[in-house]
């Protein structure tokens, strides 16, 4: 931490700050500037009481953190990229780009099995489908819940695809973990810390979506919650942030991909379906994500988007999805990856 003193701060105030820095277990180091002094507090600030409280002391202008607050997610701790195995044939974080595709919600056996077959046929590696749905309105369809999990398991069987599905409460983590190959934490749960701790103990890979107003650093802190429980298999997912722009449902922040790649060893995937909210923009943004270095994609595919229970406007029909996969393969090759 760097403590910036006010211009003309009293000596007494500086002495108090120095005393407090020592009390908290850091070593103070004063730099006398031309208009104000700056005090470095040397020591690892993670896991201790925050130096931030020094900001309340007289004569202090601001407190500037220097260290990143995450450890286990950091490349400083683990330099080589993490490759997370999902099944015998599927791993995320290596040279192959993993495509997870399927409907927003599991709606019926027919729907999920037909979709699973189609996306498998088109080259998807993982089947996505929601059984527990966090919906803005209490009057909207909330998912088939346990029944949806069973249908997912059936579709996995039939299509031979591992399954990713969302969990929204700590008490259903064990149930979801029983069925899912990857447990998804949705954007609205990305700072549900009790849920993060619980999936950290579930023994399954976790796909962690970035919250709508979460900074990249906060996303890594949420990953840290899972890692700190002993679960090293965390996949990060950029799915759009909330901005003033209304032409898209969210603003897909693809620069988060290279930023994350510079800071963490964890794999990073992108979700252009939620990121744009409009099926017209899914294919170009999927290609852009791959070109930017994404390790995978999440794509909403529905056999009949006009009758979908949720997220119809952003779902691709199977034929469009297959066409996109063909294009993606070419982009992946050009980026020295494969799909």
Site for a copy of itself in 168-187 (CB under 8 A): 168-171
Which 1-20 residues touch a copy of itself, going by CB under 8 A? 2, 4, 7, 20
116 vs 256, beta carbon nearer a copy of itself: 256
Count of residues that interact with a copy of itself, criterion CB under 8 A: 112
If one asks whether residue 256 binds a copy of itself (CB under 8 A), the answer comes out as yes
Contact of 171 with 233, CB cutoff 8 Å: no
- CA angle, corner 104, sides to 99 and 105, nearest 5? 130
**What minimum distance in Å lies between the beta carbon of 88 and a copy of itself?**
30
33 vs 160, beta carbon nearer a copy of itself: 33
117 vs 141, beta carbon nearer a copy of itself: 141
- 292 phi, psi to nearest 5 deg: -80, -10
Which 88-147 residues touch a copy of itself, going by CB under 8 A? 134-141
If one asks whether residue 307 binds a copy of itself (CB under 8 A), the answer comes out as yes
CA 60/CA 38 separation, integer angstroms: 10
What b/e sequence results for 131-153 when a residue is b if at least 16 CB atoms lie within 10 Å of its CB, and e otherwise?
Answer: bbbeeeeeeeebbbeeebbebbe
Out of 87, 232, 312, 322, which residue is the one contacting a copy of itself (CB under 8 A)? 312
Residue 205 Cα distances to 6, 142, 189, 208, 307, angstroms: 48, 24, 16, 10, 32
Contact of 183 with 199, CB cutoff 8 Å: yes
Quote the DSSP letter at residue 24. Answer: T
Q: Hunting for tokens 């180091």 — which residue is that?
A: 29
Residue 47, token pair as written in the block: 């896991």
If one asks whether residue 52 binds a copy of itself (CB under 8 A), the answer comes out as yes
162 vs 200, beta carbon nearer a copy of itself: 200
**What minimum distance in Å lies between the beta carbon of 336 and a copy of itself?**
9
**What minimum distance in Å lies between the beta carbon of 307 and a copy of itself?**
7
Q: Which of 202, 209, 189, 190 is CA-nearest to residue 230?
A: 202
In this chain, which stretch among 80-88, 116-124, 173-181, 289-297 interacts with a copy of itself, using CB under 8 A?
Answer: 289-297
179 vs 281, beta carbon nearer a copy of itself: 281
27 vs 89, beta carbon nearer a copy of itself: 27
Out of 192, 231, 264, 273, which residue is the one contacting a copy of itself (CB under 8 A)? 192
If one asks whether residue 243 binds a copy of itself (CB under 8 A), the answer comes out as yes
Q: Which of 101, 100, 117, 120 is CA-nearest to residue 109?
A: 117
If one asks whether residue 158 binds a copy of itself (CB under 8 A), the answer comes out as no
**What minimum distance in Å lies between the beta carbon of 184 and a copy of itself?**
15
3-state SS assignment for residue 42: strand
Out of 191, 232, 303, 322, which residue is the one contacting a copy of itself (CB under 8 A)? 191
If one asks whether residue 188 binds a copy of itself (CB under 8 A), the answer comes out as yes
SS3 assignment for 283-331? HHHHHHHHHCCCCEEEEEECCCHHHCCCCHHHCECHHHHHHHHHHHHHH
If one asks whether residue 21 binds a copy of itself (CB under 8 A), the answer comes out as no
């Amino acid at each position: 931490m760097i403590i910036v003193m006010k211009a003309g701060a009293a000596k007494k105030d500086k002495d108090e700050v120095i005393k407090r820095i020592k009390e908290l277990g850091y070593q103070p180091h004063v730099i006398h500037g031309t208009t104000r002094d700056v005090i470095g507090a040397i020591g690892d600030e993670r896991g201790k009481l925050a130096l931030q409280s020094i900001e309340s002391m007289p004569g202090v202008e601001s407190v500037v953190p220097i260290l990143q607050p995450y450890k286990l997610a950091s490349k400083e701790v683990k330099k080589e990229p993490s490759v997370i195995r999902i099944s015998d044939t599927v791993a995320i974080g290596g040279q192959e780009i993993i495509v997870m595709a399927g409907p927003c919600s599991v709606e019926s056996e027919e729907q999920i099995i037909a979709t699973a077959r189609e996306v498998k046929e088109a080259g998807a590696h993982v089947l996505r489908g929601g059984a527990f749905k966090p919906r803005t309105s209490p009057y909207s369809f909330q998912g088939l819940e346990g029944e949806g999990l069973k249908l997912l398991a059936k579709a996995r069987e039939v299509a031979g695809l591992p399954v990713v599905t969302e969990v929204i409460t700590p008490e259903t983590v064990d149930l979801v973990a029983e069925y899912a190959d990857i447990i998804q934490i949705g954007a609205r749960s990305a700072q549900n810390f009790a849920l993060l701790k619980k999936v950290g103990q579930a023994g399954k890979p976790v796909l962690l979506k970035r919250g709508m107003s979460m900074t990249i650093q906060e996303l890594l802190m949420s990953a840290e919650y899972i890692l700190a429980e002993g679960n090293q298999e965390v996949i990060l997912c950029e799915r759009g942030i909330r901005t003033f722009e209304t032409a898209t449902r969210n603003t897909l922040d693809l620069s988060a991909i290279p930023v994350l790649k510079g800071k963490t060893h964890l794999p990073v995937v992108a979700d252009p379906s939620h990121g744009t909210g409009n099926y017209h923009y899914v294919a170009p943004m999927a290609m852009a994500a791959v070109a930017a270095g994404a390790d995978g994609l999440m794509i909403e595919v529905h056999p009949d988007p006009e009758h979908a229970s949720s997220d119809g406007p952003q779902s691709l029909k199977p034929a469009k999805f297959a066409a996109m996969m063909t294009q993606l393969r070419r982009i992946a090759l050009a980026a020295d990856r494969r799909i």
